[in-house]
Amino acid sequence: MQMRWMCCLLLWCSCQAFAADITVTGNWSAAVTRDDLTGGTGTDLRSPIESNSGQVTLDILNTGGATWTVTVARNDINWPAGVALALRRTSTGAGTGTISGGAAYLSLGPGAQTFLTGSGDRTGIQIQFKSDGMSVKNIAGLYNGTISYVIQ
């Protein structure tokens, strides 16, 4: 049994008068195999499954020192029912601006949710992902989806 799923990232930038830019670099792909069973044949998969702590990097530039908010939304193309996807910020990045929020996992849904707030430019903000609820009951296959990041 091998299930493979991927979390791809889609960049969407909604810019106001200060014309801030957000750049998303990276993606996450995990192959789930029999090695992920909790106790061998006849058992379910370990859960959650997490990415590396800096799987994706966000850069927020050209803010002119203004305040900003980054919202996120999950846009599924093919995702099994009952499987949750969450993300969190694992670093503050670098720069002259400030950043807050996002340190705890945020479970993603189809609607936009506030992920980060801050001011000024920040680069190298590291993001980690986790999925919860993947099961041997899910049909084996490739599951993928995208996450939209919007800066306002």
Which residue ranges of the chain lie beneath pLDDT 70?
Answer: 1-18, 77
Q: What's the pLDDT at 107?
A: 94
Could you tell me whether strands 2-11 and 28-33 are parallel, antiparallel, or unpaired per DSSP bridges? antiparallel
Name the nearest CA neighbour of 51 among 118, 141, 147: 147
Q: What's the pLDDT at 25?
A: 96
> In sequence order, what E strands does the chain have?
2-11, 21-25, 28-33, 49-50, 56-61, 67-78, 84-89, 98-100, 106-107, 113-119, 122-132, 142-151
C-alpha to C-alpha distance for 144 and 79, rounded to whole angstroms: 6
Q: What's the pLDDT at 18?
A: 53
Longest dimension (CA), the chain: 57
pLDDT digits (tens, 9 = 90+) for 102-133: 999 999 988 999 999 999 999 999 999 998 88
C-alpha to C-alpha distance for 45 and 111, rounded to whole angstroms: 28
Q: What's the pLDDT at 5?
A: 38
Determine whether 81 is exposed, middle or buried from the number of CB atoms within 10 Å of its CB (0-12, 13-18, 19+): exposed
C-alpha to C-alpha distance for 64 and 79, rounded to whole angstroms: 39
C-alpha to C-alpha distance for 99 and 38, rounded to whole angstroms: 38
